[in-house]
Amino acid sequence: MNKELSLRQIAYMFVFISISPIIRQLPRALASEAGRSAYISPFWSAIAMILITAIVLGLLKAFPGFNLYEIMLQLAGTFFTKIIILGYLLWIMLSLVAKINIYSHTLQFTLMPQTRSNFFLITLIVLVSYALLRGIKTVFRFSEFTLGTILVLFIILFLCALPKVRPDYLLPVSTIHLMDTVRASKSILAVGGNIIIVLFLADKLGISITTKQKRRVWIGVLIFILLNFFITLFTIGITGASLTANLPFPFYITVKSISFFNILERFEVIVTLICTLSDFIAICIFTILTIRCLEWLFQLKEKSFLYAPLITIIYYLTFYVSKTQFEFEFLYQNVILYINLIFQYAIPILLGLLCLIKGKKIKKQY
């Protein structure tokens, strides 16, 4: 069995690709729905995250060395599997196009407002092609090695921001807002559901998965929840809930006001860099998943001929999906978020249930 990746690498990659939505979209989405009590939402989302992670790990245990497609073939049969994989393919392509869009919008909003989005798209295509030429492992190793540094940078940022946090922006939190915080947690779930990527790459993990590796996945989920909590807390605590809800990139504006003992300033450039790196890795991963879905759907043995037509489709689709940041925000909040919940939670939960029902039959096969 080809053991190309480890569960630890995938867990760290999950945290890494989650960073950009956590710092760019979530504080705004949470503040607009739950106001000053928004920082409680990550704890509600933890419940669903624990459930989906347990399902993913359960499926890995029940089907060692099998990927999502092979698991589905065992549980749902060829016809339904092909339909679901087609759905996943369309969803991943939409996510990929959305990611590329928001990547160029972020760069335009922060560092290069005069540059046209075409420039970012072309440079991105070149960079992603180069990264993927080096192999899938390079992408995972990059996120594994960079994540530690980024987390340390966040800890330094939080320590610097601590004196600026205003308790009156965060308190009091009343039980009346409790339901708002629960409702707002759907935005976090739509990002955290990316943990199902583990299933897409499960055949590269090998047959035996140790308890230590499973613990890494749980640590990844914990980091995701804590990062969410602290970033929302600091953004609302410094900028205020109403301003956070109305700014396009509130964490970026919040970081602008932070300094390290009045000596070091302008940390926002680091935030942009982190965001860009996270998006870049996410785009690489979604490209890999798109190719995998096509391989599964059409039973392909070779895939090198797919790159050129796929790049053409994805490049032009970015213009068709959304053109401005406002359009993207609308599309994300009203369409992509709910589609994410279906593909990241509903289908894996259904698979988990099928696995429980068909458990005995499946065991007989081994």
Partner 1 sequence: MIYLFAISIIYTLIKNKDQLLSAKRNLFLFLFLSVIGLALGIVTILNPYFPSIAMLLEKYMK
**Site residues, partner 1 (CB under 8 A):** 118, 122, 294, 298-300, 302, 304-313, 315-317, 319-323, 327-328, 330-331, 334-335
Nearer to partner 1, 138 or 325 (CB): 325
State the Cα–Cα distance between residues 337 and 356, nearest whole angstrom: 28
Number of helical H runs and strand E runs in the chain:
18, 0
CB of 291 to partner 1, least distance (A): 12
CB of 331 to partner 1, least distance (A): 4
Give, for 82, the enclosing helix (H) or strand (E). helix 68-110
DSSP assignments along 267-301, one per residue: THHHHHHHHHHHHHHHHHHHHHHHHHHHHHHHT-S
State the Cα–Cα distance between residues 196 and 344, nearest whole angstrom: 6
CB of 318 to partner 1, least distance (A): 10
State the Cα–Cα distance between residues 94 and 90, nearest whole angstrom: 6
Nearer to partner 1, 8 or 82 (CB): 82
Nearer to partner 1, 3 or 323 (CB): 323
State the Cα–Cα distance between residues 295 and 307, nearest whole angstrom: 12
Distance of CA 238 to the CA centre of its chain: 25
CB of 27 to partner 1, least distance (A): 22
CB of 287 to partner 1, least distance (A): 14
Nearer to partner 1, 323 or 361 (CB): 323
| 46 and 176 Cβ atoms separated by less than 8 Å | no
Nearer to partner 1, 317 or 350 (CB): 317
Nearer to partner 1, 260 or 298 (CB): 298
* Sign, CA torsion 134/137/142/143: positive
CB of 315 to partner 1, least distance (A): 7
